[in-house]
């Protein structure tokens, strides 16, 4: 089909109401994150009546469309072919087509490269329309039991430990809850890094959202890291939600006082771990302070 505004009648099985004509433009269509019924009627209408549907993986999108009795012309659009496909999409929009963009799951542009296409479409003067729907980040935030009035979506952490901990440190002072995506195989390592950087903040690991085996495990970061270190990496897609930093009731003087008392009966490592958990401070920082206090004490005795 060539593009122009047109009216269409959606399938009788979905609705008998007449749907408003689609104007030419790029439509960002959210798709389910697990349960295929978590798609909006508006999304199905747009997908059924688009001139082309840009899909991260056409096989995944075809399964979704087949489940809802929708036919569409699918075209791959992903990291590897984006530079080649974007000019073709701009030509299609210039010709008056209705173009839909979907990711494999959830809302397009959230942790995927669709923003490059959106940026070029806007620069070329074409309309961009959001068709909202499922989002793993928002679903996890809602069930985590942590503050929702302010949050930061951070996406995927780097895979290597050193780079990951440097990257996580950027979010130390973020005022709201933190939302991360992570591959299941890297979950134990990621939680350990978060406990090192953020201290033992409350957190939730949400996986398989909207699916049969949906799970939300809640606890301190250290507790969650220990659980998955013992149980091993789970299956499924994972979202980690971490509480914001608590008000700093433990100033440096109080931490030093607590460390001096703990070092009377504990090893440096154990004392630092205990105080870091109570203070909500990174273990490495408290450990470094404990070493310094122990050295000062030893020097005082020697003097």
- Per-residue pLDDT tens, the chain, 303 aa: give them: 333 333 334 444 444 345 578 999 999 999 999 999 999 999 999 999 999 999 999 999 999 999 999 999 999 999 899 999 999 999 999 999 999 999 999 999 988 779 999 999 999 999 999 999 999 999 999 999 999 999 999 999 999 999 999 999 999 889 899 999 999 999 999 999 999 999 889 999 999 999 999 999 999 999 999 999 999 989 888 999 999 987 666 788 888 888 988 988 999 999 898 888 777 778 888 999 999 988 887 766 665
Q: State whether 82 and 157 are in the same domain.
A: no
Q: CA 250 to CA 200: how far, in whole Å?
A: 14
Residue 1 forms part of a structural domain: no
16 is in which domain, residue-wise? 6-134
Residue 123 forms part of a structural domain: yes
Q: State whether 238 and 258 are in the same domain.
A: no
Residue 148 forms part of a structural domain: yes
Residue 298 forms part of a structural domain: no
Residue 300 forms part of a structural domain: no
Would you give the DSSP letter of residue 79?
A: T
Given a contact cutoff of 8 angstroms between Cβ atoms, the answer to whether 40 and 133 are in contact is: yes
Q: State whether 125 and 170 are in the same domain.
A: no
Given a contact cutoff of 8 angstroms between Cβ atoms, the answer to whether 255 and 275 are in contact is: yes
Residue 301 forms part of a structural domain: no
Residue 302 forms part of a structural domain: no
Q: State whether 36 and 95 are in the same domain.
A: yes
pTM of the model: 0.76
Given a contact cutoff of 8 angstroms between Cβ atoms, the answer to whether 53 and 42 are in contact is: no
Q: State whether 92 and 63 are in the same domain.
A: yes
How many domains does one find in the chain? 3
Residue 206 forms part of a structural domain: yes
SS3 99: strand
Q: Given 134, 152, 176, which residue is the final one in a domain?
A: 134
DSSP tally for the chain: helices H, then strands E: 11, 12
Q: Given 134, 161, 191, which residue is the final one in a domain?
A: 134
Q: What Å distances lie between residue 302 and 168, 227, 295, CA to CA? A: 40, 43, 10
Q: Which residues contact residue 279 at a Cβ distance below 8 angstroms, ignoring those fewer than 6 apart?
A: 199, 250, 254, 255, 258, 286
Q: State whether 49 and 95 are in the same domain.
A: yes
Q: State whether 180 and 105 are in the same domain.
A: no
Q: State whether 38 and 74 are in the same domain.
A: yes
Q: State whether 216 and 151 are in the same domain.
A: yes
Q: State whether 24 and 102 are in the same domain.
A: yes
Q: What is the CATH number of the domain that holds 198?
A: 3.30.950.10
Q: What is the CATH number of the domain that holds 106?
A: 3.40.1010.10
Given a contact cutoff of 8 angstroms between Cβ atoms, the answer to whether 89 and 27 are in contact is: no
Given a contact cutoff of 8 angstroms between Cβ atoms, the answer to whether 50 and 98 are in contact is: yes
Q: State whether 13 and 127 are in the same domain.
A: yes
Q: CA 65 to CA 71: how far, in whole Å?
A: 7
Q: State whether 12 and 67 are in the same domain.
A: yes
Q: Given 87, 105, 134, which residue is the final one in a domain?
A: 134
């Amino acid at each position: 089909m060539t593009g122009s505004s047109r009216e269409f009648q959606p399938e009788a099985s979905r609705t008998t109401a007449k749907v408003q004509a689609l104007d030419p433009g790029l439509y960002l269509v959210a798709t389910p994150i697990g349960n295929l019924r978590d798609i909006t009627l508006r999304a199905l209408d747009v997908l059924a009546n688009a001139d082309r549907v840009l899909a991260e993986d056409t096989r995944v999108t075809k399964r979704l469309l087949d489940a809802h009795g929708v036919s569409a012309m699918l075209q791959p659009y992903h990291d590897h072919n984006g530079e080649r496909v974007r000019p073709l999409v701009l030509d299609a929009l210039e010709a008056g087509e209705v173009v839909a963009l979907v990711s494999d799951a959830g809302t397009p542009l959230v942790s995927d490269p669709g923003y490059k296409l959106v940026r070029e479409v806007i620069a070329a003067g074409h309309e961009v329309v959001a068709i909202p729907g499922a989002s793993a980040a928002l679903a996890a935030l809602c069930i985590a039991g942590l503050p929702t009035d302010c949050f930061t979506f951070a996406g995927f952490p780097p895979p290597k430990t050193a780079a990951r901990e440097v990257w996580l440190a950027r979010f130390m002072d973020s005022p709201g809850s933190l939302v991360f995506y992570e591959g299941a195989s890297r979950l134990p390592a990621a939680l350990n890094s978060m406990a090192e950087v953020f201290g033992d903040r409350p957190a939730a690991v949400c996986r398989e959202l909207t699916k049969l085996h949906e799970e939300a495990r809640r606890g301190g970061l250290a507790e969650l890291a220990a659980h998955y270190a013992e149980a091993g990496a789970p299956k499924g897609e994972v979202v980690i939600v971490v509480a914001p930093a608590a008000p700093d009731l433990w100033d440096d003087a109080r931490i030093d006082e607590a460390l001096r008392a703990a070092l009377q009966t504990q090893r440096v490592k154990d004392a630092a771990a205990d105080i870091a958990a109570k203070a909500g401070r990174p273990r490495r920082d408290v450990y470094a302070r404990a070493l310094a206090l122990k050295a000062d004490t030893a020097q005082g005795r020697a003097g």
